[in-house]
Amino acid sequence: MADFSDKVSNKAEDLGGKAKEGIGEATGNDSLADEGRADQVKSEIKEAVHEAGDKVKEVADKVLGAFKKDDDKPHTGDVN
């Protein structure tokens, strides 16, 4: 559930940033436009970190799955 709410929050921050940027540019308010661009960059960074975390989880699951498959195999030639 947290993943979904994080994505919604990031999207809202991105859209808010685009709105600030557009209003700032339309009114000649450079500070507001810059703030909007900064909000968009923060949103993009958060999304990239989230995606990287997903990739790490996928790789970890594959590695753990390989160990699990290895444990399921019968062991022969074990020395006591």
Structure-token match 């557009």, residue found: 22
pTM, 2 dp: 0.70
Cα–Cα distance for residue pair 23/27, rounded to 1 Å: 6
pLDDT digits (tens, 9 = 90+) for 29-53: 999 999 999 999 999 999 999 999 9
Enumerate residues 6+ apart whose C-beta is below 8 A from 33. Answer: 20, 21, 23, 24, 25
Q: Give the contacts of 44 (CB within 8 A, at least 6 positions apart).
A: 14
Tens-digit pLDDT profile for residues 53-76: 989 999 999 888 888 776 666 656
